[in-house]
Structure 1
Amino acid sequence: MESLDAIDLALLDQLQADASLTNQALAAKVHVSAPTCLRRVARLRQLGLVERQVAILDRDKLAPLLGHGLQALVEITLDRQDDQAMTAFEERAVADTAVQQCYRVSPGPDFILVVQADDMPGYLQVAQRLFTADANVRNVKAFFAVRRAKFDPRIALPKRGA
């Protein structure tokens, strides 16, 4: 893979903060010309460093319109931890639309999931689909979020001189 310079890192940092910026606005923020910015961002995307662009919705502003919903952080321990069993569970979890995030972790439980459901009956349906129906799930420990103090999907990038 090619190396990244200070301009590349500044572009990636700005894109993480606000990917909706116009090319001209992005170029101004990182102090390069618009054509240079366009070419560099295209290269960063071609390298696969920008996985995808999404809109992050405001839960608190959506709540009066859609309901608060229920978010759970769930620890999963499997009975068998061989690669086939781990991969099988991971594939099922990732395919479920209620699962927002899925991590294989160590030590401790085998997985940590972030699950979003409309309400407790909705969460119980997810639990039935993913945990109860799977004979290889040994232990499930769910923690229900009562308040989110911080959510930031950005990756901290090193600061390099240009």
Structure 2
Amino acid sequence: MEQIDLDSTDLRLLHQLQVDASLSNLALAELVHVSAPTCLRRVKRLVEAGLIERQVAILSADRLAVQQGHGLTAIIEITLDRQDEERLAAFELRVALDEAVQQCYRVSPGPDFCLVVFAHDMPGYLALAQRLFTSDANVRNVKAFFSLKRSKFAPFVPVLPVLPVSPP
């Protein structure tokens, strides 16, 4: 992955794209005070450098729940029996490939991993637990916490220096 120098325009672009990635190139260019061609070129460079991984739509879990049911969100602590790099990487890969796993973090101290998972219901969670944890002889301990309410969800990486927040 290429290391690039970031200037204040790059930082403003990264910030603004986190606020609203659906902006047209022209609107984005106006917000960060550059020409449209410069904006397009810089965003392309940021993508190629891997600073922008992907652009996604963030769905309203509460509104979608009206259509599909609320489901279960669980935060799960996993402790492995053996923590050599090969076994850590194997577990990490297996959970990363599972669609129910929304986030996976290797952590220290305490458990080896913290996962955020989604299941449609308790039988769905039990199937996930069997698939990912019970069937793995190296999983020593599983501790699940079920979300009662999501108070905040912000997939936002602070960009330094701190920039003023533009309204969405």
Superposition TM-score, scaled by structure 2 size: 0.93
Gaps of at least 5 residues in structure 2 are: 164-168
Matched ranges for 1:107-122 at <5 A? 107-122=109-124
- Report the counterpart of residue 66 of structure 1 in structure 2: 68
Say if 1:102 and 1:112, in contact at 8 Å, map to a contact too.
yes
Residue identity matched to 1:18: D
- Report the counterpart of residue 98 of structure 2 in structure 1: 96
Residue identity matched to 2:6: L
Deviations 1:58-88 (A, max 9, x none): 0011011010010000000000111111111
Size of the aligned set, in residue pairs, is 161
2:38 to 36, 39, 49: 36
Gaps of at least 5 residues in structure 1 are: none
User: How much does 1:160 deviate?
Assistant: 7.5
- The separation in 1 between residues aligned to 2:46 and 2:160, in whole angstroms, is 16
Say if 1:99 and 1:115, in contact at 8 Å, map to a contact too.
yes
Partner SS state of residue 4, structure 1: coil
- The separation in 2 between residues aligned to 1:154 and 1:86, in whole angstroms, is 27
RMSD: 1.2
Percent sequence identity is 66
Deviations 1:108-149 (A, max 9, x none): 000001010000110000000011111111100000001111
Superposition TM-score, scaled by structure 1 size: 0.96
**Where in structure 1 do 4 or more consecutive aligned residues deviate above 2 Å?**
none
Say if 1:78 and 1:110, in contact at 8 Å, map to a contact too.
yes
- The separation in 2 between residues aligned to 1:46 and 1:36, in whole angstroms, is 15
- Report the counterpart of residue 80 of structure 1 in structure 2: 82
User: How much does 1:156 deviate?
Assistant: 0.2
User: How much does 1:2 deviate?
Assistant: 2.1
Deviations 1:36-61 (A, max 9, x none): 11111111112111101111100011
